[in-house]
Amino acid sequence: MKVLVVYYSRYGHVLALAQAAAKGVQSVPGAELVLRRVKEFDDIQAQTAGDKYAQAAWERQKDIPECSLADLEQADAILWGTPTRYGNMCAQMKRLIDSTPGLWLKGAFEGKPAGVFTSTATAHGGQETTLLTMMVPLLHMGMIVVGVPYSTPGLLHVERRGGTPYGPSTLAGPRGELQPTPEDLAIAEALGRRVAETARKLRG
């Protein structure tokens, strides 16, 4: 049973959530983790070449393979992670999703569990809007969207950090100066586990 964690991350915050979700996937017996990054746009690659923070994040993920259509097709469950861009998913992730009509026509995503996670710079920068709008194409694709129940440790809180019932999240800070808190990572791990467990139950 393959569980794909596919993410895009320019400064490493979503990467950290993806790695935590991957840990959760790996805690489920029978789940084979497939970790993939979304292909970067050439112009963004060029623009960020002189940005030391983006370069440091690139060094941490350059060996993670790019996500292919075959990775999407072969997955039994998929966790999708993207930074927030004006309250929405990033264009790189949208391009990947928009490259799937061939798979959609075949019903390749139908009945497979999915989860979503995100990062914003600021506290009210759109975590929930990104997570909820990300679910829309996944529902068109026939996926079964899995959230984070409030029984998950760390979810019920009023602290300056992430964690929503729609999916894990984190605050990057206006200059990317923050890092995911232990609770943010634990919630991402919990969703990775929950999506993998759901896939296992659905397979019977």
Ligand X SMILES: Cc1cc2nc3c(=O)[nH]c(=O)nc-3n(C[C@H](O)[C@H](O)[C@H](O)COP(=O)(O)O)c2cc1C
- Please identify, among the stretches 70-78, 82-90, 106-114, 134-142, the one whose residues bind ligand X according to the rule CB under 6 A: 82-90
Question: H or E segment at 79?
Answer: strand 77-83
The answer to whether the CB of 41 falls within 8 A of the CB of 90 is no
Candidates 27, 61, 87, 99: give the one binding ligand X (CB under 6 A). 87
CB of 131 to ligand X, least distance (A): 12
How big, in percent rounded to 5, are the helix, strand and coil portions of the chain? 40, 20, 40
Closest residue to ligand X using C-beta atoms: 125
Per-residue string for binding with ligand X, 115-154, x by CB under 6 A?
----xxxx--xx----------------------------
Helices (H) and strands (E) in the chain, counts: 8, 6
Q: Is 193 in the site for ligand X (CB under 6 A)?
A: no
Candidates 5, 6, 11, 196: give the one binding ligand X (CB under 6 A). 11
Q: Is 47 in the site for ligand X (CB under 6 A)?
A: no
Q: Using CB atoms within 10 Å of the CB of residue 92, give its burial: 0 to 12 exposed, 13 to 18 middle, 19+ buried.
A: buried
